[in-house]
């Protein structure tokens, strides 16, 4: 059966500037939020899954990048996402890279982005989350992940302090916290994935999170790139175990451009940036399997990258993911996609 949204996308949205289309679509989701939440409450309750001491209504979540500024968390949850990861949020507000900075490769069901962590900054986002927390009824809304990254103008030797600032402001409102060191769009950021630099960073973030949250321990994860070598992936896995990290998000976007269906001219025109979507599936799956072979069973793995169908999500779960995330498929498949995929996962697992 043809997906009406997919037809609408191919005939209409695909010809609108991607960043403008994102803002228009997200505005529509936020406007429909109250109605969406009412419908969601009327639907049968899922069993969900418990990881990191948190109860996830569904194993399917929305990856960071869609709601950078925490403006539509609950409306997105009402669409069927069991958890929503906001951000990436930086210590200081920043406009991001020059436009155009978001390009679709429609033949590949992929996106190239060089957004550059455009966001309102940790102070503004924290105030927004505080307001949400005051009005949120217990047990309502999706699990909230907060993804933090380095401010572009902050030099590497001040990166830890920058992450600590974001942590101090945002950890009190996060159900879990993700340290992003894997976006290709902030110069030098991926260098922080080297274990020698990553260990003191994660240790500092852990310490700061504990200082501001008291008795409530906020789970801490790191998000890594698919472009790491297998050896480097395993080193991150060993570090995660050694310092008591709660989980790893695998993976971010790739700078690779192999095995694309789009014409070389279209790929060249798309320019630099991180590639997401279906072409990322195989490598993200490989990285997940490597991690699961190395880490303890109680360390949570979130599989993300190239998940387009329920079958993709189930494959990731079978390979060792505890939770899965998507973003690009949501763009191409529309607002009914998360609930449709979540229902198919639930049916397969007998939830």
Q: Give the pLDDT band (50/70/90) at residue 14.
A: confident
Work out the average pLDDT over 147-169: 97
Nearest residue to 254 via CA among 230, 275, 278 = 275
Residue 12: pLDDT band with limits 50, 70, 90: confident
Tens digits of residue pLDDT in 242-287? 999 999 999 999 999 999 999 999 999 999 999 999 999 999 999 9
Q: How many CB atoms lie within 10 A of CB 52?
A: 20
C-beta separation of 79 from 43 below 8 A:
no
Output the pLDDT for position 117.
Answer: 98
CA distance 291 to 230: 9
pLDDT bracket for residue 223 (50, 70, 90): very high
- Taking all residues of the chain, what is their mean pLDDT, rounded to a whole number? 94
Question: For every residue of the chain, which 3-state class applies, written as one string?
Answer: CCCHHHHHHHHCHHHCCHHHHHHHHHHHHHHCHHHHHHHHHHCCCCCCEEECCEEECCCEEECCCCCCCCCCHHHHHHCCCCEEEEEEEECCCECCCCCCCEEEEHHHCEEEECCCCCECCHHHHHHHHHHHHHHCCCCCCCEEEEEEECCCCCCHHHHHHHHHHHHHHHHHHCCEEEEECCCCCCCCHHHHHCHHHHHHHHHHHHHHHHHHHCCCCCCEEEEECCCCCHHHHHHHHHHHHHHCCCEEEECCCECCCCCCCCCHHHHHHHCCCEEEEHHHHHHHHHHHHHHHHHCCCCCEEEEECCCCCHHHHHHHHHCCCCEEEECHHHHHHCCCHHHHHHHHHHHHHCC
| Overall number of domains in the chain | 1
Which of 37-41, 130-134, 236-240, 291-295 is predicted least confidently?
A: 37-41
Query: Any catalytic annotation for residue 276?
Result: no
Considering the candidates 58, 166, 182, 183, report the single residue annotated as catalytic.
Answer: 183
pLDDT, tens digit (0-9, with 9 covering 90-100), for 65-87: 999 999 999 999 999 999 999 99
User: Is it the case that residue 45 has pLDDT exceeding 70?
Assistant: no
End-to-end C-alpha distance for the chain, whole angstroms: 25
pLDDT at position 249 is 98
pLDDT score recorded for residue 44: 61
Identify the CATH number of the domain in which residue 248 sits: 3.20.20.70
Q: Answer whether residue 328 shows pLDDT above 80.
A: yes
- Domain housing 191: 4-349
């Amino acid at each position: 059966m043809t997906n009406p949204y997919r037809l609408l996308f191919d005939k209409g949205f695909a010809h609108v500037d991607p960043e403008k289309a994102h803002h228009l679509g997200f505005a529509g989701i936020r406007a429909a939020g109250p109605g969406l939440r009412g419908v969601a409450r009327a639907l049968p309750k899922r069993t969900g899954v418990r990881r990191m001491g948190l109860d996830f209504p569904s194993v399917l979540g929305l990856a960071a990048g869609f709601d950078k500024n925490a403006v539509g968390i609950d409306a997105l949850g009402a669409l069927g996402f069991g958890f929503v990861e906001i951000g990436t949020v930086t210590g200081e507000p920043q406009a991001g890279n020059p436009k155009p900075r978001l390009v679709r490769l429609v033949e590949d069901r992929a996106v190239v982005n060089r957004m550059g962590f455009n966001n309102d900054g940790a102070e503004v986002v924290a105030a927004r989350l505080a307001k949400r927390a005051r009005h949120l009824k217990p047990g309502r809304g999706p699990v909230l992940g907060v993804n933090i990254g380095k401010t572009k103008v902050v030099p590497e030797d001040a990166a830890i302090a920058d992450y600590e600032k974001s942590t101090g402001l945002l950890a009190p409102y996060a159900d879990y916290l993700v340290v992003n060191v894997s976006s290709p769009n902030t110069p030098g950021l991926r260098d922080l994935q080297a274990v020698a630099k990553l260990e003191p960073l994660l240790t500092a973030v852990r310490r700061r999170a504990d200082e501001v949250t008291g008795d409530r321990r906020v789970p801490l994860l790191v998000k890594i790139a698919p472009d790491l070598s297998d050896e480097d992936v395993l080193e991150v896995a060993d570090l995660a175990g050694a310092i008591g990290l709660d989980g790893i998000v695998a993976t971010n976007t790739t700078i690779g451009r192999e095995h694309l269906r789009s014409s070389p001219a279209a790929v060249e025109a798309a320019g630099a940036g991180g590639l997401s979507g279906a072409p990322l599936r195989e490598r993200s799956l490989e990285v997940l399997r490597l991690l699961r072979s190395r880490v303890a069973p109680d360390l949570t793995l979130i599989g993300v990258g190239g998940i387009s169908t329920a079958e993709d999500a189930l494959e990731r779960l079978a390979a060792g993911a505890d939770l899965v995330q998507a973003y690009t498929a949501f763009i191409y498949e529309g607002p009914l996609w998360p609930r449709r995929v979540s229902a198919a996962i639930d049916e397969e697992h007998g939830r």
